[in-house]
C-alpha cells in the first residue's frame, strides 16, 4: 500500500497547484476514496494489526507524511502564527486516521468531493489565508 500511496503523492507534487490544493490532494490520498484505496487500506490495517499482535514495532507512515507537510509549511512560513505545531500535527494525524477508518467502516460516505472539503476545512485552520 505504501508504495502506491507514495507514487500517487509524487504525482501531486509534480502539479503546479496552489499550496492548499496540493496539501489537501496529498492528504486525500491517505483516505480511501476508491475501491482500490479501500483494498489498500484493508491490507495496511491487517499488516499493522499483525505487527501489534506480535509485539513488533510499527512505523506510522501517515504520521511521517504529516510531519513532512508541516515542515514544508513552516519552512515556507505558511502556518498561522498562533498554532502549536506539535498539537496540530497530532490533531491532523488523528483526523486523517479517523476519517480513513470511518470511510472504511462505512460511517462516512466515500465521496471524494465531500472528503476533500472536510480535509480542506482542517487545513484552513492551520495555514495563513
- What are the tens digits of pLDDT across the range 57-66? 777 778 888 8
| Higher per-residue confidence, 36 vs 2 | 36
- SS3 of the chain: CHHHHHHHHHHHHCCCCCHHHHHHHHHHCCCCCCHHHHHHHHHHHHHHHHHHHHCCCCCCHHHHHHHHHHHHHHHCCCECCCCCHHHHHHHHHHHHHHHHHHHHHCCCCCCHHHHHHHHHHHHHCCECC
pLDDT at site 5: 65
Residue 1's pLDDT band, with cuts at 50, 70 and 90, is low
- What are the tens digits of pLDDT across the range 72-124? 899 989 999 999 999 999 999 999 989 999 998 888 888 999 999 999 999 99
Indicate whether 2 pLDDT > 80: no
pTM: 0.84
- What are the tens digits of pLDDT across the range 17-54? 898 999 999 899 888 888 888 888 888 888 878 888 88
pLDDT at site 33: 87
Among candidates 49, 36, 46, 28, which has minimal Cα distance to 4?
A: 36
Residue 37 CA to residue 104 CA, distance in Å, equals 9
User: Are residues 126 and 80 in contact, defined by beta-carbon separation less than 8 angstroms?
Assistant: yes
Amino acid at each position: 500500500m505504501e508504495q502506491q500511496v507514495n507514487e500517487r503523492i509524487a504525482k501531486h507534487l509534480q502539479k503546479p497547484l496552489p499550496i492548499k490544493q496540493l496539501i489537501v490532494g496529498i492528504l486525500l490520498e491517505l483516505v480511501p476514496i476508491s475501491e482500490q484505496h479501500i483494498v489498500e487500506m484493508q491490507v495496511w490495517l491487517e499488516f499493522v494489526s499483525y505487527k501489534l499482535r506480535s509485539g513488533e514495532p510499527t512505523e506510522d507512515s501517515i504520521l511521517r507524511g504529516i510531519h513532512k507537510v508541516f515542515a514544508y509549511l513552516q519552512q515556507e512560513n505558511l502556518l498561522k502564527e498562533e498554532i502549536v505545531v506539535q498539537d496540530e500535527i497530532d490533531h491532523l494525524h488523528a483526523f486523517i486516521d479517523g476519517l480513513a477508518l470511518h470511510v472504511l467502516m462505512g460511517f462516512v460516505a466515500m465521496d471524494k468531493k465531500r472528503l476533500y472539503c472536510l480535509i480542506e476545512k482542517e487545513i484552513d485552520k492551520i495555514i495563513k489565508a
